[in-house]
Structure 1
C-alpha cells in the first residue's frame, strides 16, 4: 500500500513502518488444529482455504461474511477476477461447505453480496442454512454511470443454523425525524418524542437500510481498503444477533471492521485476512478502540437516522 499525499483534514487510518512491525507481531497463522481460546480475540493472517482445516468445531455464535463479489477487484495489489456464474457459485461452495462446522447449533450468519453475486449466495447458503431474510442497504457512495443505473445498493443475506436463533429487535431500532407529528386529543405527542434536538420517533428496523454512510476520508474509521463496510452496519448486525461475550467470526476480515465493532460492543472476535497490511490495520484499529469505543450513528442505545446531529460521532464533530 503506497503512501499518499493526503489533505490536512484527512483522517484515514494508515501505518508507518514501526507500526507494521508492532502490529505484525500480534498476527498468527494456523498450522495445527486449534482450541477456541487460542484464536479468540486474534487476527489470523492466512489464506482462508488453508486456515479452515485448523479451526475448532462449533465455537462461533455469529458469522459475518463479506467475500469478494463476482467482479474484478484489486485489494492492495491482489486481484480477484470475475468468473461466470457457475464458477463463482462453485468457488463460494468450496469454502462455505467447510465453514459450516464451526457454527454453534443456534448460530446466525450474515453474507454480503451485490446484484451479480446474490443469486449464487442464495443458492449456496440455502443448501446448508435457513434463510431468514435479505437485507438491502443503500450504498450511496459513487459518482454514477453514463450507460446504466447507478449501482447504489448491496444485499446482506440473514441466515441461521436452526430455527432457534437470537434476534433482539429492541436493540436495533432507528430514531428518525418525525415528518407529521400527530398528537392525541389531549395534545400529547403520539408515538414520538419532543426534545431539545427536535421531534423523533423510534421505529422498528426493516430489511431496507437507508441510514448508513460508506466510510470516507474525513471519518475516523476510514482506511484505504476499497470495500470497507461501515461500523454502524456491523453494529446493527452484532447487536441484533448476539449477546455480550459471544464469538463473532469474519473469514474475510479486510481492515477489521467486524473485529473492531465486536470489541466495542463487548463481544469476542476472530478474523482471517490474507493480506498482512490489512491485518496490521485491523490490529491498529483494535488498539484505538481501547480509548474510543464510539460508533458513528449509534449512541444512547439507538441508531440515529443519517444526517441527524445526535447520530454523529462526537469525536469527529461532523454529520454522517
Structure 2
C-alpha cells in the first residue's frame, strides 16, 4: 500500500513531505484503523514507565497490558516478511528488582518470532554509587515469519576489521565489505551537558541516535519500504528513513514533539539538498 492510500485512511497528517507522514495521534487508535500487511519494518522505543516528563506512569501489570495492545496491532499491520525492532530499557519492579530489563516482561507478549536480542552499548550515562553504572539497553529484533524475513547484512557490515587481509588456505578470511557487527552494538548515545552535548541533540529527553536507526533500517528493510514508528518522539526514525531512501509513518501523541520533529526534518532536508543546489550553480 502506498503512503497516499494510507493517508486516505488516516486523514490529514500533522506534517507530510514526499518521504512520509507524521500524525499527532494515539498510536493504538491510529493502527486499529489501518488494514493488515501494510508496514515493512517498525522501529520504536516506547515509554519505559519510569517517570519521564512525557509518561503517565502505570502499575507494572497495566503497563504490560498496554504494551500487549500496541504490540498486537503492530503485528497485524506488518507484512509477512516484515519485522519489529523494539528498543527498551529498564524499570523498577516493586519487591522484585531495581533495574529489571523490560525485555523480560515483553519478549513473549506478541505473536512475532523473537529472532534475536541485541545489546546496545553506549558510552555515557548515569553514574551510580551502589550499583554498576548502566551503559546498555536492549533491542528485541522480532520477525513475522521465522523463515522469510529481510536481513541485509552487507549493508551494515563493520569496516573496522583488525586484520582485513588475513588469509586461510590462500583465501581471505574476512568479507571485503567488512565483518558482521555482532549482537553488541557500540553506538554513542545522544548526550547533553556542557562540553559533551551531541551535535544532533534536541529538547527531547530520550532521543534515539540516528546512527542506531541507520543500522536497523539498512539491515532490516529495502529502499522505498515503509518504516513505522508508533512512538516517534524527536523524529530520529523519520530522519534515518529519509537518509536511507525509505518512506515513513510516525505517530506521536504529544503535539510539541510533532512540532520538534517537523522542524528537525525540514532542517535535515534543507541541509541534504543544499550541496546539490551548489553543484548546480557551478554547472551554469
Give the TM bin, normalised by the shorter chain. 0.7 to 0.9
In the alignment, does 2:83 pair up with 1:108?
Answer: yes
Matches of 1:52 and 1:184 in 2, distance apart?
51
Give the secondary structure class of the aligned counterpart of 1:277: helix
Quote how far apart the aligned CAs of 1:287 are.
1.3
Q: Superposed, which structure 2 residues align to 1:182-221 within 5 Å?
A: 202-210=178-186, 212-217=187-192, 218-221=197-200
Q: What is aligned with 1:161?
A: 144
Matches of 1:31 and 1:184 in 2, distance apart?
53
Matches of 1:181 and 1:172 in 2, distance apart?
16
Distance 1:59 1:190, change over 3 A: closer
Structure 1: which 5+ runs fail to align?
A: 1-29, 194-200, 295-320
Quote how far apart the aligned CAs of 1:106 are.
1.1
Give the secondary structure class of the aligned counterpart of 1:254: coil
Q: What is aligned with 1:60?
A: 39
Quote how far apart the aligned CAs of 1:160 are.
0.6
Q: What is aligned with 1:119?
A: 104
Of 201, 223, 247, the residue aligned with 2:202 is: 223
The one-character-per-residue Cα deviations of 1:40-64 (angstroms, maximum 9, x if unpaired) are 7110001223222322322100011
Q: What is aligned with 1:141?
A: 124
Q: What is aligned with 2:133?
A: 150
- 4+ runs deviating over 4 angstroms: 37-40, 180-185, 189-193
Query: In 2, are the aligned partners of 1:113 and 1:121 still within 8 Å (CA)?
Result: no
Of 217, 220, 235, the residue aligned with 1:256 is: 235
Matches of 2:80 and 2:159 in 1, distance apart?
33
Matches of 2:254 and 2:220 in 1, distance apart?
28
Query: In 1, are the aligned partners of 2:31 and 2:77 still within 8 Å (CA)?
Result: no
Q: What is aligned with 1:93?
A: 68
Quote how far apart the aligned CAs of 1:224 are.
1.3
Quote how far apart the aligned CAs of 1:95 are.
2.0
Matches of 1:114 and 1:274 in 2, distance apart?
21
In the alignment, does 2:25 pair up with 1:42?
Answer: no
Give the secondary structure class of the aligned counterpart of 2:141: strand
Give the secondary structure class of the aligned counterpart of 1:73: coil
Give the secondary structure class of the aligned counterpart of 1:292: helix
Provide the TM-score with structure 1 as the length reference: 0.69
Structure 2: which 5+ runs fail to align?
A: 1-5, 91-99, 274-284
Q: What is aligned with 2:114?
A: 131
Quote how far apart the aligned CAs of 1:286 are.
1.6
Give the secondary structure class of the aligned counterpart of 2:242: helix
Query: In 2, are the aligned partners of 1:136 and 1:209 still within 8 Å (CA)?
Result: yes
Question: Bigger CA drift: 89-98 or 60-69?
Answer: 89-98
Quote how far apart the aligned CAs of 1:202 are.
2.5
Matches of 1:91 and 1:124 in 2, distance apart?
11
RMSD: 3.1
Query: In 2, are the aligned partners of 1:273 and 1:279 still within 8 Å (CA)?
Result: yes
Q: What is aligned with 2:158?
A: 174
Matches of 1:269 and 1:87 in 2, distance apart?
29
Matches of 2:43 and 2:220 in 1, distance apart?
11
Provide the TM-score with structure 2 as the length reference: 0.77
Distance 1:255 1:184, change over 3 A: closer
